[in-house]
Amino acid sequence: MSTTHTIGLDLGGTFLKAGVVSEDGTILERIRYAVDPSSAEKVFKTVGEAVGACRDIDRCLVAVGLGIPGIMDHGTHVIMNSPNLHCLDGRALDDLMKDVCPLPYALDNDANCGAYGEFVAGAGRGTTGSFVLLTIGTGVGGGIILDGALWHGARGFAGEPGHVVIERDGRPCNCGGRGCLETRVSAGAVVAAYESRGGRAASAEEVARRAHGGEGAAVEALADVGRDLGLGLAAIINLLNPEVIAVGGGVMGAGELLLGPARVEAGVRAFRASFLSTRIVEATLQNDAGMVGAGLMARGVIQ
């Protein structure tokens, strides 16, 4: 049987990442394009260019997977809201894809693509049933795998761990609510926790570097945010009892300085038996997860 590959596309508000993806999730070739967010047509013109370029590189391509930033109705492929690409709001993606993509294609939320990539080819490799990915950056995104398949919920809106409420009258959230997990667990939360201890830092990455260098205030700030992360992990464990929860994103440069306190807090808050059967680990694919997942997801549409 001849080897077949797919195209994995990870669309962001600034760049489109395209990759030729093998059956095991290896990225064989990669290209990056700048995105013009002024119109949906211009965005998808770039998608078409990426598909064409990948086909020029590899003639064994059989399908395309595209990860979209925002909330998509899984049944109709209509974008309900895309905070980073408002030009897509209300647009039916099939109408846009048919003009630029000659191959069969799969569409999903970018966070779901990332979760699927980590499940198959990253931190969840070898996991047979249930897996959750959390990505921590400006906010907290993620995706859920149940019984080996992505869990989309009734219309495709499932998998928003950043908006699990951990504090009844807590800080305002960008979603319009209060007390969401991502108000206390994010890059901004790390910087705020550090500054509340008298430190000054331009980014969460800088706080992590100082913590790895042994600075006490930075270590304490990461531990504080880690404990809040543990509250969210406990909620996920009690609700889903997944085999693995992987945590990734820009904040994870902190590594065990963040994840260690989170694991301890989750162990205190979650049901003991459920906690002991769930592994909490660092994600491994990081920025490639969405591209890998989209490419692997595309295999589901091959006839």
Please determine, for residue 19, whether its predicted confidence score (pLDDT) is greater than 60.
Answer: yes
Residues 92 and 20 in one domain: yes
**d(Cα 224, Cα 2) in Å, to the nearest integer?**
52
- Residues 181-202: pLDDT tens digits? 999 999 999 999 999 999 998 8
Residues 186 and 50 in one domain: no
**d(Cα 248, Cα 115) in Å, to the nearest integer?**
10
* Residue 2 pLDDT: 61
Note whether residue 189 is domain-resident: yes
Q: How many CB atoms lie within 10 A of CB 214?
A: 8
Residues 97 and 135 in one domain: no
**Residue 110 structure tokens:** 């970018």
Torsion angle of alpha carbons 200, 203, 208, 209, nearest 10°?
A: -80
- Residues 220-247: pLDDT tens digits? 999 999 999 999 999 999 999 999 999 9
Residues 99 and 28 in one domain: yes
154 CB-contact burial (10 Å; exposed 0-12 / middle 13-18 / buried 19+): exposed
Residues 135 and 254 in one domain: yes
Q: Would you give the DSSP letter of residue 230?
A: H
Give the pLDDT band of residue 259 (cuts 50, 70, 90).
very high
Q: Would you give the DSSP letter of residue 108?
A: E
Note whether residue 151 is domain-resident: yes
Domain count, the chain: 2
Q: Would you give the DSSP letter of residue 125?
A: T
Note whether residue 149 is domain-resident: yes
- Residues 137-147: pLDDT tens digits? 989 999 999 99
Please determine, for residue 3, whether its predicted confidence score (pLDDT) is greater than 90.
Answer: no
Length of the chain: 303
Residues 145 and 280 in one domain: yes
Element holding 225 (H helix, E strand): helix 216-240
192 CB-contact burial (10 Å; exposed 0-12 / middle 13-18 / buried 19+): middle
For the question of whether the overall pTM of this predicted structure is more than 0.85, the answer is yes
Please determine, for residue 129, whether its predicted confidence score (pLDDT) is greater than 90.
Answer: no
Note whether residue 71 is domain-resident: yes
Q: Average pLDDT, stretch 197-212?
A: 95
Note whether residue 168 is domain-resident: yes
Which CATH number fits the domain that encloses residue 93? 3.30.420.40
Element holding 214 (H helix, E strand): none
Residues 218 and 180 in one domain: yes
Give the pLDDT band of residue 97 (cuts 50, 70, 90).
very high
Note whether residue 121 is domain-resident: no
Residues 132 and 244 in one domain: yes
Residues 297 and 210 in one domain: no
Q: What angle do CA 211, 212, 213 make, to 5 degrees?
A: 85
Note whether residue 105 is domain-resident: yes
Residues 279 and 294 in one domain: no
Residues 103 and 140 in one domain: no
Give residue 225's domain range: 126-284
Residues 31 and 155 in one domain: no
Q: How many CB atoms lie within 10 A of CB 65?
A: 31
**d(Cα 47, Cα 94) in Å, to the nearest integer?**
13
Count helices and strands in the chain by DSSP H and E runs: 9, 12
